Amino acid sequence: MADRKSYHHGNLRQALVDATAALVEESGPQSFTLAEAARRAGVSPAAPYRHFKGRDDLLEEVARQGFIEFSELLETSFDEGRPDPMAAFLRLGQAYLDFARNRPGFYMAMFESGVSIAGNADLSRAADRALGVLVSSAGALFQDMPPDSRPPARMVANHIWALSHGVVELFSRGKPGGRTPISPADMLESGVRIYLRGLGVFPR
């Protein structure tokens, strides 16, 4: 149980976020209640209302913090395209898988909870930051191609995001090797390479 003394120093809000992420990891984003989050954090059922309007507001904050951490991981992994854009772009895929594996409660709050990203300005900014890393990294892949041959960077980013999420959902959860002997990382990298080859990023 969380240390109640810490809440006198302004940590109640974060304790509730962490408790909610743990509950989401255990039972999914639709199954927890605000009272359960309060109990997990070691406070009264009324305490969460000091910081959050309700359950959805708390879940949106979990998602917001998740997107911030996710963005930082992507930015670090891309490392401004060093040593070359392709190597940096492929590192983003591994970073995506790592985040989903290491922070499942936050990941599910971000992508599987049904929270309204557009309806929360702070959450929307955090999500846009993560997408922005993918868009800029995709654009770097095409910088040497003729301008009229370059595919839209945002389209590519969205396709890669969807591919990454699909690998997480289908192949990264449950017993390793249960669906395929190919590792999630190899599955994602091969899919990305096939996709980019189709766009003419590198020769067949």
Q: Which residues contact 163 (CB under 8 A, 6 or more apart)?
A: 188, 191, 192, 195
Does residue 110 sit within a domain? Answer: yes
- What CATH code is carried by the domain that includes residue 13? 1.10.10.60
The per-residue pLDDT string of the chain (204 residues; one tens digit each, 9 = 90 and over) reads 444 444 444 589 999 999 999 999 999 988 888 999 999 999 989 988 888 999 999 999 999 999 999 999 999 999 999 999 999 999 999 999 999 999 999 999 999 998 989 999 999 999 999 999 999 999 999 988 888 889 999 999 999 999 999 999 988 875 555 567 889 999 999 999 999 999 887 654
- What CATH code is carried by the domain that includes residue 141? 1.10.357.10
Same domain, 90 and 13: no
| Residue 13 confidence (pLDDT) | 92
| Residue 9 confidence (pLDDT) | 40
Does residue 204 sit within a domain? Answer: no
Same domain, 47 and 69: no
Same domain, 192 and 146: yes
Same domain, 115 and 178: yes
Q: Structural domain of residue 84, as residue ranges?
A: 62-198
pTM, 2 dp: 0.88
Same domain, 191 and 148: yes
Same domain, 34 and 82: no
Same domain, 91 and 69: yes
| Residue 85 confidence (pLDDT) | 92
**Number of domains making up the chain:** 2
| Residue 129 confidence (pLDDT) | 97
